């Protein structure tokens, strides 16, 4: 639902599109007692969702070849899928989550803290600095960290207002620990030999630009564009 405008543009350009809500997001099943908390025990769970999506693509007989487009957390999940041999001939990433800007802590310290809290049985708790409610409903556009596009901001706000079941708050400590473990593992793996494009905003404040630039600098056939602002 969030990417309805993007889907409309791609469809108008002649593309067929297959997508899904990841578990714990949108209208997909939630795996935490609090439905407003993003949660998985391990990022390997998302690969089950990828497998379900690919099975649907085969069942529907969608045209080949396949190309991959992913955003933020989806970029992290997609990277693992590519390493697992996802049958696509190119990949495009929008601000992929290959690192997290864990303000005010450096990422490595935030990762250690998440692991310690998880080990002490605090994984069910909300990640510090996040809130239980939907971010776009609790933040002014001027101060938000998601987008500088007022039309996109309005789209996200009206969607959550019209369909409250889509609302999602911050992630659990367990999710954060799983995310750091997956990002660390991915950073130690070579990029696949596949054409790849990444777009990144120059004022990105959620995912880590340094990790993205480092990955794309060593991606065979990879290209990175920085969008001013």
* 32 pLDDT more than 70: yes
The pLDDT-based confidence of 217 (bands split at 50, 70, 90) is: very high
Q: In the predicted model, what is the mean pLDDT of residues 202-228?
A: 95
**Alpha-carbon distance 229 to 75, whole Å?**
21
Percentage of residues of the chain with pLDDT beyond 70: 99
Model confidence, pTM? 0.94
Q: In the predicted model, what is the mean pLDDT of residues 187-195?
A: 95
Which has more confidence, 33 or 197?
197
192 close to 167: Cβ distance less than 8 angstroms = no
Q: Write the pLDDT tens digit of every residue in 89-120.
A: 999 999 999 999 876 667 778 888 889 989 99
**Alpha-carbon distance 89 to 93, whole Å?**
14
Q: In the predicted model, what is the mean pLDDT of residues 158-164?
A: 91
Instruction: Give kind and range of the element (H or E) at residue 154.
Output: helix 150-162
Q: In the predicted model, what is the mean pLDDT of residues 127-139?
A: 86
Phi, psi of 69 (to 5 degrees): -130, 130
Q: In the predicted model, what is the mean pLDDT of residues 143-159?
A: 92
pLDDT for 103 equals: 63
* Closest CA relative to residue 55, chosen from 92, 86, 34: 86
């Amino acid at each position: 639902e969030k990417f309805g405008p993007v889907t409309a543009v791609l469809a108008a350009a002649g593309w067929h599109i297959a997508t899904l809500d990841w578990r714990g997001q949108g209208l997909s099943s939630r795996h935490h007692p609090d439905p407003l908390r993003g949660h998985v025990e391990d990022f390997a769970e998302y690969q089950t969702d990828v497998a379900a999506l690919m099975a649907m693509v085969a069942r529907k007989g969608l045209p080949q070849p396949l190309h991959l487009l992913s955003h933020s957390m989806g970029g992290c999940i997609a990277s693992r899928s590519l390493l697992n041999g996802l049958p696509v001939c190119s990949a495009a990433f929008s601000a992929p989550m290959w690192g997290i800007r864990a303000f005010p802590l450096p990422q490595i310290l935030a990762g250690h803290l998440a692991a310690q809290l998880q080990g002490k049985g605090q994984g069910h708790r909300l990640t510090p600095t996040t809130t239980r409610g939907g971010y776009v409903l609790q933040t002014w556009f001027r101060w938000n960290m998601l987008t500088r596009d007022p039309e996109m901001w309005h789209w996200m706000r009206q969607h959550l207002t019209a369909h409250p079941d889509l609302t999602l708050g911050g992630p659990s400590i367990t999710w954060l620990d799983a995310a750091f473990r997956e990002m660390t593992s991915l950073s130690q793996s070579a990029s696949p030999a596949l054409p790849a494009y990444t777009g990144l905003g120059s004022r990105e404040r959620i995912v880590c630009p340094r990790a993205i630039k480092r990955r794309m600098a060593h991606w065979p056939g990879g290209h990175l564009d920085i969008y001013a602002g």
